[in-house]
Amino acid sequence: MIRKPLSSRSLRGTRRSLLKGTLAAVVGLPWLESLDVRESKAQDAIPQRFIAMFSANGTIYDQWLPEGGETDFELSPILAPLEAHKNDLVVVEGLTQQGGGGDGHQNGMGGMLTGAELLPGRFAGQGSAPAGWSEGPSVDQRIAQAISGVTTFRSLELGVQTGAADNWGRMCYAGRNQPLAPRENPRGVFDDVFGFALLDPDEQAKRTARGESILDYVRTEFEGLADEVSASDKQRLDLHLTYLRDVERRLAQQALSLDQCSLPDRPPEVDTTNDAFPDTGELMLDLLVLALACGRTNVASLQWSRSVSMVRFTWLGIDRGHHELSHLPDSDDEAQAELVRINTWYAERFAGLIDRLKRYQVEDGTLFDQSLLVWCNELGKGNIHSREKAPYVLAGSAGGALSTGRFLRYPEGTPHNNLLLSLLHTLGIEDSSFGNPDWCTGPLAGFV
């Protein structure tokens, strides 16, 4: 049951054995292995990075919770794959995920990174009035405002088979009522983030001139409409305009050279079947780290599936869907064991993310040393939709700002808003509160 962390060798083996269909185009090596240089030159100031990773449906708390004191603790079976990185972790016990509106999965998902409730709306959940998008913004977006610097992408939202566009499937919010959809196609992500830089200079110049003239036309058309439409339409148009300016800004910044890092070939196309889930995820992890390493963004997130994830972990020999399993009673030993294996699998992915970040050398260490990572879940306990005992695992010191190798225990019921606020403080963002102020009683004591 307890799984050892995968060495890169066994990781490679796992992936090779899973290559199927269109993925068979890649032979042998994981995609990123084709990189010849793993070096990212530091930018002017040493940047800080923030990464959020999500997995769904709660955990099995007693198999997740470490044992021991703040600095002398033993990792649990679920967290065992992180053993090699134990000194880089901060595991947090006792937090209650705040949220409101909609059903437990909905408001857990919407509140997880925002610390805010869902607005009234039309997404009908079970056991509650229908709810809309979150009050937002999410903590990654608050951080992006502060640390995105001159990167091409203020933030990069990536997802693996996140399903329908509704509030069960959105965790990042640019602001109130502004969900950010994750990008799901690895090849599309590669093209968006790096494609332009791979063109020859003449083609780049042509595309830039074309793009600028088109966007200039479109922007003024939107601006001209503002007086002709209703108030709510105007809100929407204003949003559209904001994002148009982002596209314009990126167009200008794409022209920056990419000589800070070297790029692999385009990743393979993946299909969207259940069994392509792990391989798609590995590619997304590669892309996420590559985007950070190449200075394309300082803030990224990876959303595995969605709340109420129905993924079937057939590659672990588990045929029933994750959500269905998560609703079985505690007395069902087989289901509990399978859920532990699922959560352990996600711990392996989190370890894989850390591994990748550590492979990139920057001036004073590795990319990982500059980073702050948080792994979160929309629920604590799946079968009762409880948001108490939410399983937060952090990693990375954000350039020495956070002391790691710790197991922090807070009184049960401590609102998770306090953690979100502490994340901001770790990154030097001295806000006094985050999310719904009623749920934020101050930064976690002794955290930073």
Partner 1 sequence: MASLIAGCTSDPPAESTRAVTDWACTDGKVSEAPSRRLTRFEYTNIVSDVFGLDDLDLERVLPRDEVALGLDNQAGALSVTDLHVDAYFKAADRVAAALLEKPDRLHQFGGCSEPDRECAKRTVEALARRLLRRSPSQREADKLLTLFENDFAADGVQEGMHRAIAALLQSPDFLYRFERASVDDDANVDDDVAPVTSSPEVLASRLSFLYWGSAPDAELFDAIERGQLSTRADLEREARRMLEDERAERGVLHFFEQWLELTDFDQVEKDRRLFTSWDDEVREQLHQETRLFLRSALWEDDARFATLLGARYSYLTPRLMDFYGLPIDSRPADEFERVDFAKGEPRFGLLTQASLLSRLAKVDQTSPIHRGKFVRERFFCTTPPPPPANIVVTAPQIDPRKTTRERFEEHRANPVCAQCHELLDPIGLAFEHYDAVGQYRADEANQPIDATGYLVDTDVDGPIDGLPDLANKLAESPEVRRCMVTQVFRYAFGRGETERDSCTIDNLAQQFAASDGDLRELLVAVTQTDPFTAPAPVPAAEDLTP
Q: Which residues bind partner 1 (CB under 8 A)?
A: 103, 119-124, 126-128, 132-133, 157, 164-166, 174, 177-181, 183, 185, 188, 192, 210-211, 213-215, 217-218, 221-222, 225, 228-233, 235-237, 239-240, 243-244, 246-247, 250, 274, 312, 319-321, 324, 327-330, 332, 383-386
Please state at what angle helix 277-293 crosses helix 333-359, rounded to 10 degrees. Answer: 30
What is the phi/psi pair of residue 140, to 5°? Answer: -65, -35
Residue 441 has which token pair? 């009683």
Nearer to partner 1 by Cβ, of 166 and 369: the residue is 166
Smallest separation, CB 402 to partner 1 (Å): 29
Nearer to partner 1 by Cβ, of 38 and 320: the residue is 320
Nearer to partner 1 by Cβ, of 110 and 399: the residue is 110
Give dist(CA 405, CA 264) in Å, integer. Answer: 34
Give dist(CA 34, CA 27) in Å, integer. Answer: 11
SS3 category, 439: helix
Smallest separation, CB 100 to partner 1 (Å): 13
With contact defined as beta carbons under 8 Å apart, do 101 and 117 qualify? yes
Smallest separation, CB 122 to partner 1 (Å): 4
Nearer to partner 1 by Cβ, of 85 and 154: the residue is 154
Nearer to partner 1 by Cβ, of 177 and 366: the residue is 177
Smallest separation, CB 195 to partner 1 (Å): 10
Nearer to partner 1 by Cβ, of 202 and 259: the residue is 202
Nearer to partner 1 by Cβ, of 73 and 196: the residue is 196
Smallest separation, CB 58 to partner 1 (Å): 12
Per the listing, tokens 């470490």 go with 66
Smallest separation, CB 54 to partner 1 (Å): 17
Smallest separation, CB 315 to partner 1 (Å): 14
Q: What is the DSSP string of 237-296?
A: HHHHHHHHHHHHHHHHHHTS--TTS---PPPPP---SGGGHHHHHHHHHHHHHHHHHTTS
Residue 375 has which token pair? 């792994």
Nearer to partner 1 by Cβ, of 93 and 192: the residue is 192
Q: What is the dihedral of CA 304, 305, 306, 312, to 10 degrees?
A: -120
The H-or-E segment that residue 375 falls in is strand 371-376
SS3 category, 157: strand
Nearer to partner 1 by Cβ, of 265 and 319: the residue is 319
C-alpha triplet 278, 14, 11: angle, nearest 5°? 90
Smallest separation, CB 383 to partner 1 (Å): 5
Smallest separation, CB 48 to partner 1 (Å): 22
With contact defined as beta carbons under 8 Å apart, do 77 and 340 qualify? yes
HEC string for 332-366: CHHHHHHHHHHHHHHHHHHHHHHHHHHHCEECCEE
